Amino acid sequence: MAMIPETKYAKSGEVYIAYQAVGDGPRDLVLIPPFVSHVEIYWEEPSLVRFLTRLASFARLIVFDKCGTGLSDRVAPHALPDLEQRMDDVHAVLDAVGAQKAALLGPPEGGPMSALFAATYPERTTALILYGTFASTIRDAAYPWPMDPGERQKIIAALPQTWGQGLYTDLLAPSRSADPQFRTWWARLKRLGASPGATMALRQMNGQIDLRPVLPTIRVPTLVLHRLGDQDAGLDEVEEFLTGVLEGPEPDRVLATVLFTDIVSSTERAAELGDHGWRQLLEGYYGIVRRELARFRGREVDTARDGFLATFDGPAWAIRCACTTRDAVRALGIKLRTGVHTGECAIMGEKLVGIAVHIGARVAARAEPDEVLVSSTVKDLVSGSVLHFVDRGTHSLKGVPGEWRLFAAA
């Protein structure tokens, strides 16, 4: 067995994330964990040791266990983080090792989170490598490759009886499926990597991933790999890709979640209260919105009379902020219309511009009083979280091409 590197811990919110930093190469490379991981059990399997050692030969390799798995803090299955929350784990680990930016390597289930992080935080991502992964786990006419939902549910239902028995090596590692030593290690990795309950919750969550709307917004250099057989050939591609990467200019386009709020019947309220009373009401309203933005990691972009535009790193933060703000301003006797959308935005100084901003404003305009309305893109990105939605049907948005499916946050 190889010597196990020192395991350290980084704090991400209220939990601690186990990580290791291996090698001292001139660039940083983060291995985003797959479905279940354990940073110390990794080093018990010679083929994986060879893989990790090769990566660490041309980069400082950073490996970690996401929240709820491996040596990181365990949480109740219902509290396992979704893709958006998992990005915080990457931030925490990068900060802990003193890395301003890094390349991301996302094998299978680590791929979607890698892609989402690269799109959302291009300023912290030098390159993206997707290895044998997928864009969606939702099967439809345009994307027929994911597992049949019925078959997926059968596997999930059987997990309490089958977890940690070394099964599915014929599917996931066919060249090693007849090796009893490998199957024993595989079973041990699964047992120590996660409990059956956490595994079932992760399987359910991963069955709702759909990052297709995000892919066109990725602006960092990207390598997509999928091959059978020789591991070294894939590693050769990764090494050549990374060692030839040139640092580009700071990004001028990012993936962002925009939130718009608007006071219902503001003209009538202003006439009713008069200038002084209306100004006092707005000051109270602004104070509440800014308090909630600080609480949920939002950034104020613009205010226009009774409207607010803010941005967030991820849609779940925006939805929670919208709901608590809506509830809080009722004490002032006002109601809000709120819209949330995630899309690619252009940066112009302190401002954000682009079609995504216009869509967010149009979604807000469609909201009913006291309603938080979101686009289908937002709903898809928070699939697997505790957030729930009510379908509000398909709408035309003024000045925006196509039909848009909208949902109310419940």
Task: Decide if pLDDT at 87 tops 70.
Answer: yes
- Judgement on whether residues 132 and 154 belong to the same structural domain of the protein: yes
Asked if residue 1 belongs to a domain, the reply is no
Rounded to two decimals, what is the model's pTM?
0.81
**DSSP string covering 306-362, please?**
TEEEEEESSHHHHHHHHHHHHHHHGGGT--EEEEEEEEEEEEETTEEESHHHHHHHH
Q: What is the predicted pLDDT for the residue at 367?
A: 94
- Judgement on whether residues 233 and 295 belong to the same structural domain of the protein: no
DSSP E strands in 83-201: the ranges are: 102-106, 125-131
In the DSSP assignment, the letter for residue 68 is T
What CATH number is associated with residue 34?
3.40.50.1820
- Judgement on whether residues 39 and 188 belong to the same structural domain of the protein: yes
Please say which residue of 225, 243, 261 terminates a domain.
243
Task: Decide if pLDDT at 316 tops 70.
Answer: yes
Q: What is the predicted pLDDT for the residue at 2?
A: 57
| 357-386 per-position pLDDT tens digit | 999 999 999 999 999 999 999 998 988 788
Q: What is the predicted pLDDT for the residue at 248?
A: 52
What is the percent of the chain with per-residue pLDDT over 90, rounded to a whole number?
58
- Cα dihedral 297→300→306→307 (10° resolution): -90
| 174-207 per-position pLDDT tens digit | 777 778 888 889 889 999 999 999 988 888 888 8
Domain count within the chain = 2
Task: Decide if pLDDT at 35 tops 60.
Answer: yes
Which of 19-33, 152-166, 190-204 has the highest mean predicted lDDT (pLDDT)?
19-33
Domain that holds residue 139: 8-243
| 223-255 per-position pLDDT tens digit | 999 877 667 788 889 999 999 765 555 567 788
Q: Are the CB atoms for 94 and 124 separated by under 8 Å?
A: yes
Q: What is the predicted pLDDT for the residue at 402?
A: 86
Please say which residue of 243, 268, 288 terminates a domain.
243
Mean pLDDT of 284-312: 90
Task: Decide if pLDDT at 139 tops 60.
Answer: yes
Mean pLDDT of 275-293: 92
Q: What is the predicted pLDDT for the residue at 250?
A: 57
Residue 347: which pLDDT band, with cuts at 50, 70 and 90? Answer: confident
What is the percent of the chain with per-residue pLDDT over 70, rounded to a whole number?
96
- Judgement on whether residues 183 and 330 belong to the same structural domain of the protein: no
Q: What is the predicted pLDDT for the residue at 119?
A: 94
Mean pLDDT of 117-126: 95
Q: What share of the chain is helix, strand, coil (3-state, %, to 5)?
A: 45, 25, 35
Q: Helices 315-329 and 83-97 meet at what angle, rounded to 10?
A: 110
- Judgement on whether residues 282 and 371 belong to the same structural domain of the protein: yes
| 255-266 per-position pLDDT tens digit | 899 999 999 998
Of 4-18, 308-322, 350-364, which gets the smallest average pLDDT?
A: 350-364
What CATH number is associated with residue 399?
3.30.70.1230
Structure tokens at 345: 């935005």
Task: Decide if pLDDT at 395 tops 90.
Answer: yes
Q: Are the CB atoms for 399 and 358 separated by under 8 Å?
A: yes
- Judgement on whether residues 261 and 205 belong to the same structural domain of the protein: no
Q: How far apart are CA 163 and CA 166, in angstroms?
A: 8
Average per-residue pLDDT for the chain: 89
Q: What is the predicted pLDDT for the residue at 246?
A: 52
Q: How far apart are CA 153 and CA 147, in angstroms?
A: 10
Asked if residue 139 belongs to a domain, the reply is yes
